[in-house]
């Protein structure tokens, strides 16, 4: 992680200033506030502001479902009920703002989540730092043979070395020329010079979203099918969310992260299997691919 | 305003609990937090949470525009620049949550602003209170003759009296029947009984939005063309926003609330008028309606 | 259903005009275009425009997943894959626009789906017709005793009669006074007079959304837990969508409408049951309510 | 522009197939449908589907404003009224879908417009073509000295030559290594290899939005302050929109593209100037920068 001395000083200053507020406050999240958690070789993620807590979810649910719910369900049970039945609006009452440093190719995946607010470092206005992502050697893997978008076996050490050299040298060279084009001799406009940078160059942004949309992001990006380089950010966020809204997080883990959805056909098969019937792929009505996914869900691969 | 004793107690409790936080905090808004400000005869609006302040706008702008901007522009000037040039994303970094009690016909206008989070009291789950809006006598006006959606002259006192009697008696009668249908003798499902209520019945909701979208709401709803019954809510919100983000609010007032947009044609006319040319509607290329609006903008109606 | 003679004539005219286009066109949906399908006692729904078809979903998926997918998967298989893995963006490439006449209390539920475009008949500008919803007698049911938002047993005929009389008389009376207030004697502004109408008054709107968001709407509103009065609109839309995008619809039916999601805990129980273990609620770790839902999913209530 | 032979054949096929439809159809846009218009050195933009026309805007406005508007205003006048008063929802009833080939650094600006549907070519699934953007020599300009995000004077020919060589050689080299990493010898996963590409590499996507949001995009991106490389796409879209919805486009041109917004302070100055008063920056209350913008708006720079 490369925090500038300026950023380190800002964090220290921010963490030293305590304010008094009437707002709901989460001590466990205050502990983490502003601190930059390292991700990948030069990236980080840190919480810079938040609003609401588990009780904001409960409060919103209770205005919707009225006074009667007060006695019927304890907070944890109510939150589980909301999660289970896809009553998503109460989770929108919590908001969190992150400061993230991340490679541009990761930023391009991330930005596809549209229901969020973003302010990114602009290479039209400013010069990007010389920071680029080089994967750890054990993360350099072959194209998967059975999955068009995944990784397969790890590269042999010599091959990995060769790849890292290519990545490093190209990033160095293109950044060097970026600087040359920006230099006094040429003075090219920044909005043009930036096009010479490679996609592993780091950028940074403020990214703010509500808890419902954050859960949606995490369900997709903390998933084992997500690309490793975005998943590691999602995994840091899981820890942060657990500190922030422990009841909502527990419900999310049970009903989303660890959950499985069976199609109508699959559900029918489960029912038949529960009666003791032996079911085969051929007789199942599922495609081979679906059958594999189905068996895998049931721990029978 | 009809706060339930329960709500009054909740407000007192909430205002008595001070927390310690590292988050940006706005003392002037803390002063107003949780307090219910009366609107119309039984409505209210109150802030129940917020996130960010003017410096969050500046911080977001500076990550976009880079270090160089630090010296170039003071905070107020930067915020004015952002507002003037429609750089709206930095304003999205601030978030505010209101609790509002409002007539259903007002809620139906309000909800058209889609970029917000809402949890409304549900008449499927709970029984609505016997609260309905009756306009003050001086607000009862005739249909405007020159504006298809506005109000014209105030009704004569006797006519106003007659209208108020109709509104009161119908609201009383329909609410009475609502109660009768919900009572033990009938026991009709709440989701059905509610259809008998009139549109001036009060509902309530939590409504959360970011500062950019709030400004958009306020520009339309604090405008003189907005219906009086929603405008009074917007006007309370203006005061709250001024306490919360004074620099952003000042820029909003100058560049949006008090601003005027001239079409290409109108701008051409202004330029000609500035050379001393006398311009008439006939020669202007504007329709009569546009001409009237144009003259009015220039204070020449 | 009450179509005005004007509307009936418009539909006939529209259906008589054939145009030539290069756009993807769906003959089965063209058959239904403009025709108003009756819903409830005076409501209707009709398709007034659309864009895209199943092949637009496939085309969008193939630009994302590249040329290689061309041979790997047939269209139906690709669409099923997208639906199963929540790759929702290709479904956003199809768009449909409805014209709907519906009671105001239904419109208030419907509008909560924010990712849609809406233009509603405005009672500020125009006078609402005298059309209000009265449930069929067999739809008048008691409040459910085990579900805070549902209906239970049907009312006895005499009680139902009494309820219908109350609803009819109140709607008649309040509409009569609405007319009186709008009449020449009083001339009250329309934006004020409307507040006297009851929530079962019909309104109408154009409502336009993309296929992904429409599926989300249908999953929630065609569900057995949705209120009957909105579910009947959703059910008409299911038929329309089936005619429009048969492959996408089949995938939706299998993976969403008929699907079931098991939480991590529930999935663990299924696995144990498949080994022949007898599982009880007490030992399951599920609450009573969850257990009931779980058993019901497995057809064992 | 580099269309693959496959794409050229697809366009010819699509343009040869005429369908019969009851939907509103715009002959002038049908003329342009599917055809790829070249932008920059290898990019293009083409319309691949659309829904609605000027009459859809009118139809939506008339359901909102009711029957009475039918006679009051002709279509063009109604559309101008809607645009002038920011009644944006009727414009949302039209939808258009583009297929665009564009450099990645342009795509990164474009995607910030969130209210749109996008499917982009995925370099996780497929291999990107060897296409990268090299500016025309006369577009290579120095960093602006008075505008932190703009371009100033054009580079001297020899300097421009040097810049183009750097851009070309780096793009060639990094693409070559991309191919090497993907080749049989190494077989690196595509999702990793792509990080070595430079930001001027071309990507492509389907991009679909409604007319209101398209106007918003065009107001910002067809503006003289927008970066040249995105502005040229916006300019092609202006022509397409004019063919599609000529009345809406004319209103947009007058009330948005050619319009100017004066702040409350500026408006006050205009009024004083119209009385013949000479106003100076010092006495104006405007900052130097605002004064310059103000004078420029009035054609007095």
Look up residue D6 and give its two tokens: 């496959």
The predicted structure's pLDDT at residue A137 = 95
Burial zone of D290 (CB within 10 Å; 0-12 exposed, 13-18 middle, 19+ buried) = buried
Residue A243, annotated ligand binder? no
Structural domain boundaries, residue B150:
134-198
Nearest residue in C to D100, CA atom:
C63
Domain match, C226 and C276 both: no
Q: Pinpoint the alpha helices (H) of C34-156.
A: 54-65, 69-72, 75-84, 104-110
Domain match, C92 and C15 both: yes
Domain match, A14 and A98 both: yes
Tell me: pLDDT of B70 over 70: no
d(CA D281, CA D283): 5
- Residues whose CB falls within 8 Å of the CB of residue C38, separated by 6 or more in sequence, listed in order: C1, C44
Mean pLDDT to the nearest integer, A61-72:
62
Nearest residue in A to C77, CA atom:
A287
Tell me: pLDDT of C23 over 60: yes
Of B157, B175, B198, at which residue does a domain stop?
B198
- The phi and psi torsions of C116 (rounded to 5 degrees) equal -160, 160
Domain match, B87 and B164 both: no
> pLDDT, tens digit, for every residue of D90-149?
999 999 999 999 999 999 999 999 999 999 999 998 999 999 999 999 999 999 887 777
> pLDDT, tens digit, for every residue of B93-150?
999 999 999 999 999 999 999 999 999 999 998 999 999 999 999 999 999 887 777 8
Mean confidence (pLDDT) of chain C: 93
Higher pLDDT, B33 or B70: B33
pLDDT band at A1 (very low <50, low <70, confident <90, very high): low
Residue A255 DSSP label: I
Look up residue C106 and give its two tokens: 């239904």
CB D116 within 8 A of CB D215: no
Nearest residue in B to C105, CA atom:
B195
pLDDT band at D240 (very low <50, low <70, confident <90, very high): very high
Domain match, A103 and A216 both: yes
Domain membership flag for residue A129? no
Residue C112, annotated ligand binder? yes
Which of A111, A162, A199 lies closest to D194 in CB terms?
A199
Of A152, A172, A199, at which residue does a domain stop?
A199
Domain match, A186 and A215 both: no
Which of C125, C143, C174 lies closest to B148 in CB terms?
C125
pLDDT band at A6 (very low <50, low <70, confident <90, very high): confident
Q: At what angle do helices D75-84 and B288-297 cross, to 10 degrees?
A: 20
Active site residues of C: 221
Domain match, A243 and A185 both: no
Overall residue count recorded for chain D in this entry: 301
Split into its structural domains, chain C has a count of 3
pLDDT band at C201 (very low <50, low <70, confident <90, very high): very high
Tell me: pLDDT of A73 over 70: no
Residue D221, annotated ligand binder? yes
Tell me: pLDDT of C296 over 70: yes
pLDDT band at A7 (very low <50, low <70, confident <90, very high): confident
Minimal Cα–Cα distance from A27 to chain B, Å?
Answer: 8
| D25/C20 Cβ within 8 A | yes
Mean pLDDT to the nearest integer, B27-53:
97
Read off the CATH number of the domain in which B242 is found: 3.30.1360.170
Residue C19 DSSP label: E
Residue with tokens 């160059």: A201
Tell me: pLDDT of C292 over 50: yes
Domain match, D92 and D226 both: yes
The predicted structure's pLDDT at residue C100 = 97
Mean confidence (pLDDT) of chain B: 93
Q: Are strands C141-143 and C151-154 parallel, antiparallel or unpaired?
A: antiparallel
The predicted structure's pLDDT at residue B197 = 98
Mean confidence (pLDDT) of chain D: 93
Residue from A105, B84, B252 nearest D196 by CA = A105
Domain match, B93 and B210 both: yes
> pLDDT, tens digit, for every residue of D263-277?
999 999 999 999 999
Residue with tokens 């693959």: D4
d(CA D40, CA D230): 10
Domain match, D125 and D139 both: no
Of A199, A220, A249, at which residue does a domain stop?
A199
B156 CB neighbours in chain C (<8 A) are none
Minimal Cα–Cα distance from C28 to chain D, Å?
Answer: 11
Domain match, A9 and A47 both: yes
d(CA D20, CA A184): 62
- Residues whose CB falls within 8 Å of the CB of residue C138, separated by 6 or more in sequence, listed in order: C154
Domain match, C205 and C226 both: yes
d(CA C93, CA D158): 47
The predicted structure's pLDDT at residue D68 = 47
Across A167-171, B123-127, B246-250, D147-151, least confident range: D147-151
> pLDDT, tens digit, for every residue of A76-119?
999 999 999 999 999 999 999 999 999 999 999 999 999 999 99
B208 CB neighbours in chain C (<8 A) are none
A40-73 burial, b for 16+ CB within 10 Å, e for fewer? bbbbbbbbbbbbbbbebbbbbbbbbbbeebeeeb
Residue A174, annotated ligand binder? no
Which of C30, C90, C208 lies closest to D119 in CB terms?
C90
Across A160-169, C35-44, C57-66, C160-169, least confident range: C57-66
Tell me: pLDDT of C300 over 90: no
Chains near A (3 or more Cβ pairs under 8 Å):
B, C, D
pLDDT band at C68 (very low <50, low <70, confident <90, very high): very low
Residue with tokens 């058993």: C295
CB A255 within 8 A of CB C263: yes
Tell me: pLDDT of D241 over 60: yes
């Amino acid at each position: 992680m490369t925090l500038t001395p300026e950023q380190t000083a800002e964090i220290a200053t921010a963490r030293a200033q305590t304010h008094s507020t009437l707002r709901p406050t989460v001590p466990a999240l205050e502990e983490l506030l502003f601190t930059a958690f390292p991700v990948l070789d030069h990236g980080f993620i840190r919480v810079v502001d938040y609003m609401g807590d588990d009780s904001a979810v409960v409060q919103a649910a209770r205005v919707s479902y009225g006074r009667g719910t007060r006695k019927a369900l304890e907070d944890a049970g109510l939150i589980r009920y909301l999660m289970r039945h896809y009553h998503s609006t109460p989770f929108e009452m919590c908001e969190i703002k992150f400061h993230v440093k991340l490679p541009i190719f990761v930023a391009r995946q991330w930005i596809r989540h549209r229901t969020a607010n973003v302010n990114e470092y602009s290479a039209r206005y400013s010069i990007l730092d010389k920071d680029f992502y080089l994967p750890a050697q054990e993360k350099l893997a072959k194209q998967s043979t059975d999955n068009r978008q995944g990784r397969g076996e790890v590269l042999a050490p010599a091959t990995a070395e060769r790849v890292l050299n290519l990545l490093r040298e190209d990033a160095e060279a293109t950044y060097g020329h970026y600087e040359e084009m920006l230099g006094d001799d040429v003075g090219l406009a920044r909005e043009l010079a930036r096009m010479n940078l490679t996609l592993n160059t780091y950028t940074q942004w403020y990214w703010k979203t509500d808890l419902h949309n954050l859960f949606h992001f995490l369900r997709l990006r903390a998933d084992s099918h997500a690309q490793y380089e975005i998943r590691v950010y999602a995994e840091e966020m899981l820890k942060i969310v657990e500190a922030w809204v422990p009841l909502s997080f527990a419900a999310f883990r049970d009903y989303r992260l660890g959950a499985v959805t069976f199609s109508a056909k699959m559900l029918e098969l489960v029912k038949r299997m529960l009666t003791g019937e032996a079911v085969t792929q051929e007789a199942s009505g599922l495609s081979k691919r679906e059958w594999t996914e189905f068996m895998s869900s049931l721990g029978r691969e």
